[in-house]
Amino acid sequence: MDFAPSYTPEQEAFRSEVRAWLSEHMPKTGGDLDSDENYRKFRQLGRDLGKRGWLRPTAPKQYGGGGLDVASAIVLYEEMDAYGLPIPPYYDSGGWLGGASILVWGTEEQKQRLLPPIFTGDVVTWQLLTGPEAGSDLAGTKTDARRDGDEYVINGEKIYVGGSHGADQFWTITRTNPDGDRHKNLSWFMIPANLPGITVRPMELLGDGGEGIGAGVKNTVYFDNVRVPAANLVGGENNGWQVASTHLELEHGSGGSVGRNRWFTRALRWANEQQRDGRPLIEDPEARDRLVDIFVLTEISRLFGLRNFWMNRTHQPMTYEGPQSSYFRKLSGLKITEALHSLFGPYALTHDERWDFSEGTLDAYQRSAIVALHPGGTADIQKVIMARRIGMGREERESAGKTVE
């Protein structure tokens, strides 16, 4: 076994190239990372990365991706991570998940038309999944799409959508045959955000969804007789559940990750800096025990993500691993917030300008760990999927959704 990515001399040369490029192009940001001004800078960085194929490094080159091998992609992620930034450096999980789904289910014409804007950073895409009536029961959506000539007319409502800074396009799953059998009555559409009849309204929630930089607020999106070209139906009419199986699989964590949760490093730094009862907090044995609690949880989470990353990129058959990683991350997030609370006491809850030493991150995490229980499927839904994939109480094991062509 080898738990470390290994690099060829070419890949190491690529690292030098990336490092030099990033030091030249990295924008100067300050204050609230989610501010409009910073967002504009990160969007520009995204477009610049996109021009080089570095925004979607492993996506096929002919559709605007980088066509890079896995190790080179890891190099890119690592170098961006050195600046504390993901790729893309803003919230665009709709582009990631939607792009992957179109790659699997789109026609050649759709791939050529829809993928390059996503992969080059021209557009930001939001996924619209949950509805007021359909959360965990996603297939029970009551957002309808009715065929009318060369268009579909969409009516309905989706919630917990997107972030603070708007999007250029949405994709969503709709009901195209209200009388059809469950899972066989749904269709998947890419929808330009500026079509008449679309209204976006921010929701008031506990905190951001913990989905990375710029996730910010969540929104409700209303569809009132929105006319979408039939050419934007991906995967065929009433085949939407198949298309969804791809992005749901990825969203459930089967894509994995090579990164790690930063809370151990942060907590360790603060424990060294903060004085309590006349000594640095780190000198308190109880505090060190809590740091170990955080360390153990983040290590397990990291290893689950790493395993999934390796399985996904080397096309190993996967079953329960995605939802397992997702479930563990959600639940360990709550445990980590408790350990942080125990470590730092009331400081863990305040973002007061004078007394908070964490630049608001501790307060935000106490909330976002709770919010993070639902995106991409609730913790309970992850367990339900694991049960099917493991084959509990049944001989037939449900297979994982198709994530590559």
Binding site for other proteins (CB under 8 A): 1-6, 71, 260, 264-265, 268, 272, 282, 285, 288-289, 291-292, 295-296, 299-300, 303-304, 306-307, 310-311, 314, 316, 320, 324, 327-328, 383-384, 386-387, 390-395
Minimum distance, C-beta of residue 258 to other proteins, in the bound complex (Å): 9
User: Of 187 and 326, which has the nearer Cβ to other proteins?
Assistant: 326
Minimum distance, C-beta of residue 391 to other proteins, in the bound complex (Å): 7
As a whole number of angstroms, the distance between CA 130 and CA 136 comes to 8
CA-derived radius of gyration, the chain: 22
Minimum distance, C-beta of residue 81 to other proteins, in the bound complex (Å): 9
User: Of 247 and 330, which has the nearer Cβ to other proteins?
Assistant: 330
User: Of 145 and 271, which has the nearer Cβ to other proteins?
Assistant: 271
Minimum distance, C-beta of residue 298 to other proteins, in the bound complex (Å): 8
Which conformational region is residue 29 in: left (phi greater than 0), alpha (psi within -120 to 50 degrees), or beta? beta
Q: Give SS3 for 59.
A: coil
As a whole number of angstroms, the distance between CA 338 and CA 344 comes to 10
Contact indicator for 215, 209 with CB cutoff of 8 Å: yes
With residue 240 as reference, give the H or E element that holds it: helix 240-249
Q: Omega into 117 within 30° of 0, i.e. cis?
A: no
User: Of 98 and 256, which has the nearer Cβ to other proteins?
Assistant: 256
User: Of 87 and 114, which has the nearer Cβ to other proteins?
Assistant: 87
Minimum distance, C-beta of residue 182 to other proteins, in the bound complex (Å): 19
As a whole number of angstroms, the distance between CA 41 and CA 135 comes to 34
User: Of 93 and 325, which has the nearer Cβ to other proteins?
Assistant: 325
Contact indicator for 255, 101 with CB cutoff of 8 Å: no
Minimum distance, C-beta of residue 383 to other proteins, in the bound complex (Å): 5
Residue 83 sits at the vertex; the CA angle it makes with 31 and 368, to the nearest 5 degrees, is 60
User: Of 236 and 391, which has the nearer Cβ to other proteins?
Assistant: 391
Torsional sign, CA 341, 361, 357, 280:
positive
Minimum distance, C-beta of residue 233 to other proteins, in the bound complex (Å): 36
DSSP string, 163-210: -SS--SEEEEEEES-TTSPTTSSEEEEEEETTSTTEEEEE---SS--S
Among candidates 206, 119, 218, which has minimal Cα distance to 165?
Answer: 218
Minimum distance, C-beta of residue 248 to other proteins, in the bound complex (Å): 18
User: Of 145 and 385, which has the nearer Cβ to other proteins?
Assistant: 385
Among candidates 45, 68, 48, which has minimal Cα distance to 56?
Answer: 68
